[in-house]
A and B are shown apart, each in its own frame.
Chain A
Amino acid sequence: MKQQQINKESETTGAMLRHIRIRNRKNYLFKALIIGATVMCTLPLLFILFYIFRQGITAINWQFFTSLPKPVGETGGGISNAIVGSILILLLSCVMAIPFGVGIGIYLSESPKSRLSYYGRLSVDVLQGIPSIVIGIIIYQWVVRPMGGFSAFSGSVALALMMLPSIVKSTEETLKLLPESLKEASLALGVPYYKTIMKVIVPTGLSGILTGVILSISRVIGETAPLLFTAFGNPFMSTDIFKPISSLPLIIFNYATSPYHDWHQLAWGASLILIVIILILNIISKIVQRKWKVQF
């Protein structure tokens, strides 16, 4: 009797062991698939970066950063005006977009259920979906034409509109995650509502808001289509915001579509610079998030 029992037990144990082995293999296979998929996604990125680096590095030298583009035929030349132009346009866009974006984000997180919230959120979502070229055309109609010409200012307006949705979203999400008790603590001290928002809530959520701003910058820094109709481009160095101005994506567009090999080189160089800037911005945003994040 006992022997039978032992046999039966070892049978079932054997079956269990086989089952476990099969399960382990399936687990392993699944993990391999997932890791494989991830690697396949990262590989193209690495290839692109590597290729751009290889193409563009030959164009990079001190002159590249400091001199203006030379006319056709002359070697050398640089993208100094494009760098200055990009910076100027972005600065202006930030000045326009950040107050609005953060303000809207604050409102949406404070009154999430109101009617205005609903329509506001809807509008922001729609805005995010509008193609960049359409924004370019609209700003052309509304800003460039009345102003009588292309300008850095109109370019900034276009880019600001594109930055708005992501600033609003990240502000709203950050502030929503803050516990109600924080606001209550401040209000219970007799701090008026607006001061509570400005001096307690926003500073506490600063890392999230800042991250959102940095990421939105990194996204619009490479937008070309809107700038075609607004900033237009300028072969010379200009810091006048009411005149046309050059910028990195514009210069890449112009040079890459030209028939001259020299200019192609410059385009690669500018592309490399652009990619590097975007990479740096992303790294900065990660650092900001980690260092300044307030844990609850």
Chain B
Amino acid sequence: MESTILKTRNFNAFYGENHVLKNINIDIDKNSVWAIMGPSGCGKTTFIRCINRMHELTPNAHVQGSMQLAEEEVYEMNPVLLRRKVGMVFQRPNPFPTMSIYENVIAGYSLNGIKLNRKEKDEIVETSLQRAALWNEVKDTLHKKGSFLSGGQQQRLCIARALSMNPEILLLDEATSALDPISTAKIEELIYELSTQFTIMMVTHNMQQAARVSNKTAFFYLGELIEADATKTIFTNPKNEKTQDYIRGHFG
């Protein structure tokens, strides 16, 4: 029996008058890799940004309904504390340009004023970079600035930075869209390995990627959750016709 790490019930999201997410009911189980798919404008990015309340950065954003992370109501928590439990990696790699690789990885702690001694910091940096499959490439240049890395390496650095906080869920917002195929493949391998320790939700436009990497898939369309099921089922025998049309490439 897997336990559920994220549960939403009748979850709705609005940008002002715009009803962007309609009655989303979904259970995300622990240590799974969920692919969130759908055509542009279907609400998939909004959905994951609601999980760590980043959508609140847009003015006039508000939500209705319940979203629970590990049994706690997300919208009753302190957003700052929430975001330390949920890691996010964005489409464009965004390491902090004024910080070295080392400092980038523990930025979550240092920027938050959490005091750690040298040994603890070293350990966290090494573990996170190992998990992000970047340690061997940068272990000798930890004190160089992050901007000297290639795109794929920068993105893995951002993943390491998110992982260093040991989040309950890792959110990937089209994290490989801006990368070349080889970097993409490295990160997909990474996701596969990470899923044993973390729960991962990835928004992707690339259906092949969703099929390769995830074990569960959710299909969104025009703000509604059309179907959420095992990836195998969605790609061989989806229950909803819209889902089938989408994966066959008939729209979006």
User: Footprint of B on A, CB under 8 Å?
Assistant: 179, 181-182, 184-192, 195-196, 199-200, 203-204, 206, 294-296
Question: What residue of chain B has the Cβ atom nearest to residue A189's Cβ?
Answer: B108
Residues on the A chain within 8 Å of B52, using CB: 188
Chain A CB count within 10 A is highest, among B85, B112, B158, for B112
User: With A184-B54, A184-B57 in contact, do A189 and B84 touch (Cβ < 8 Å)?
Assistant: yes
Chain A nearest Cβ from B171, distance in angstroms: 8
Answer whether A181 and B80 are a contact pair too, CB < 8 Å, given A189-B165, A191-B112.
no
Whether a CB of chain A sits under 8 angstroms from the CB of B94 is yes
Of all chain A residues, the one with the shortest Cβ separation from B54 is A188
Residue of A181, A200, A206 near B90 (CB, 8 A) is A181
The residue that A190 contacts in the complex, of B84, B96, B147, B158, with Cβ under 8 A, is B84
**Quick one: which of B81, B87, B92, B111 contacts A186, CB cutoff 8 A?**
B111
Q: Which of A179, A184, A295, A296 is most buried by chain B, counting CB atoms within 10 A of its CB?
A: A184
Contact B88 A190, beta carbon cutoff 8 Å: no
In the complex, chain B residues whose CB is within 8 Å of the CB of A188: 52, 54, 83, 86-88, 90, 162
Name 10 interchain pairs, CB-CB below 8 A, sorted by A. A181-B90, A186-B96, A188-B88, A189-B87, A189-B165, A190-B108, A190-B112, A191-B108, A200-B98, A296-B97
Contact with A along B112-125 (1 / 0, CB 8 A): 11000000000000
Contacts of B158 in A (CB 8 A): 185
CA distance A188 to B57 in the complex (A): 11
In the bound complex, do residue A189 and residue B82 qualify as a contact, i.e. CB atoms below 8 Å apart? no
Q: Is B169 an interface residue (CB 8 A)?
A: no
B162–chain A nearest beta-carbon distance, Å: 8
* B94:A199 contact, CB within 8 angstroms: no
A196 to B94, CA, bound (A): 14
Q: A203 vs B111: C-alpha distance in the bound complex, in angstroms?
A: 12
Q: Which residues of B contact A (CB under 8 A)?
A: 52, 54, 57, 80-88, 90, 92, 94-98, 107-108, 111-113, 147, 158, 161-162, 165
Q: Is the CB of A195 within 8 A of B94?
A: no
A295 B147 Cβ-Cβ under 8 A: yes
Whether A187 lies near B98 (C-beta < 8 A) is no
Partner of B97, one of A184, A189, A294: A294
For the complex, give the distance between the alpha carbons of A179 and B94 in Å. 9
Point out which of A188, A199, A295 has the most chain B C-beta atoms below 10 A from its C-beta: A188
**B171 to A, closest residue via Cβ:** A188
Q: A191-B112, A195-B111, A200-B111 are in contact. Are A185 and B81 (CB under 8 A)?
A: no
Report how far A181 CA is from B97 CA in the complex, Å. Answer: 12
A192 — nearest CB in chain B belongs to which residue?
Answer: B80
Docked CA distance A186–B86 (Å): 13
The residues of B that contact A199 with a CB separation of less than 8 Å are: 111
Assuming the A-B contacts A184-B90, A186-B111, A199-B111, are A294 and B80 also in contact, with contact meaning beta carbons closer than 8 angstroms in the complex?
no
Contacting residues, chain B, for A184 (C-beta < 8 A): 54, 57, 88, 90, 94
Do B165 and A190 have beta carbons less than 8 Å apart?
yes
Q: Which of B84, B94, B162 has the most CB of A within 10 A?
A: B94
Min CB distance A31 to B, Å, is 38
CA distance A112 to B77 in the complex (A): 29
Across the interface, which residues of A come within 8 angstroms of B88, CB to CB? 184, 188
Chain B residue numbers with a CB within 8 Å of A179 are 92, 94
Q: How far, in angstroms, from A61 to B72 measured CA to CA in the complex?
A: 76
Residue of A whose beta carbon sits closest to that of B59: A113
Residues of A close to B90: CB separation below 8 A: 181, 184-185, 188
Q: Give B92's nearest chain A residue, CB to CB.
A: A181
Distance A185 CA – B97 CA, assembled complex (angstroms): 11
- Chain B residues with CB below 8 A from A191, complex form: 80, 108, 111-112
Q: How far is the CA of A25 from the CA of B52 in the complex (A)?
A: 64
In the complex, chain B residues whose CB is within 8 Å of the CB of A203: 98
Residue picked from A185, A199, A203, A294, most chain B C-beta under 10 Å: A185
8 new A-B contacts at CB < 8 Å, known A189-B87, A190-B165: A182-B96, A184-B90, A184-B94, A188-B52, A188-B87, A190-B84, A190-B108, A192-B80
A295 proximity list for chain B (CB < 8 A): 97, 147
With known contacts A184-B54, A189-B111, A295-B147, A204–B96 Cβ distance under 8 A = yes
A182 engages B112 (CB within 8 Å): no
C-alpha gap A149/B147 in the complex (Å): 55
Set of chain B residues within 8 Å of A190, measured between Cβ atoms: 80-85, 108, 112, 165
- In the bound assembly, the distance between CA atoms of A108 and B52 in angstroms comes to 27
What residue in chain B is nearest A295 (Cβ atoms)? B147
Q: Contact between B96 and A200 (Cβ–Cβ < 8 Å)?
A: yes
Q: How far is the CA of A192 from the CA of B81 in the complex (A)?
A: 9
Closest 8 CB pairs of A and B: A190-B84, A190-B83, A188-B88, A181-B94, A189-B108, A185-B94, A191-B111, A294-B97
CA distance A150 to B78 in the complex (A): 53
- Kindly identify which residue among A185, A187, A192, A200 contacts B57, using a CB–CB cutoff of 8 Å: A187
Kindly list chain B residues whose C-beta atoms are within 8 Å of the C-beta of A200: 96, 98, 111
